[in-house]
Structure 1
Amino acid sequence: MTNSLKAAIGELSAAERHIGIVDDPQKYRAVDQAHSLPRNRKGGLPLDEARQALASHYTRLNNLDKARLVDDEKKVIDARKTAVFEAVKLYTARQAKTLGVDLAQGKKRGNRL
């Protein structure tokens, strides 16, 4: 489990670095251009390191063997999953604001973020 925790810390550090980049339109334009292929985008926004890291962390939390956890531990995991899900929503809103993408348009077309 140590390696998993080290990976999670590294990934969340990458997400933290991107917070400073996503709010700067000039810097983030380069990230947007680097993620131009459809497989590197979701909802019209780049799947940059921050979104990948948050998705990976959410999956890691989801994959915990909850059968061996007590109820209090399960509640903590569920709270962490909720927090990561909210972090993704907030981060994609920042991306959209910086890139001038209307997230409501994507939802009308049925795209999921």
Structure 2
Amino acid sequence: MTEPMDEALRAIAEPRRRAILRLVADREMPAGRIAEHFEVTRPAVSQHLQVLKEAGLLVERREGTKRLYRARREGLAPLRQFLEEMWDESLDFARRIAEEERGVSDRRSQAG
């Protein structure tokens, strides 16, 4: 079974999919309007939309014959949590190195 974070990473690895998410980040858009922003076929855009939906990053709503898409921000939550944990660990590591280096230089200045 694939982790939600892995699915989200795979989905947003493709630049057009990231662009689609930006387009629908704060508004709903029909598939046709989304496709107008790209120089690929509508079926290609539909495939990108499907990948984003399967990764839990898009919500699709039907209105008559139209399919409207909107970003599902909570779909990025596992990825965001992972990145925040990595960032926190990196900052903690950098802090420890700085403290160790400061301790070494403080000892040198006290010895001289």
Bigger Cα Rg:
2
| TMscore range, shorter length | under 0.3
**TM-score of the superposed pair, with normalisation by structure 2:** 0.28
The structure carrying a bigger strand percent of its residues is 2
The structure carrying a bigger helix percent of its residues is 1
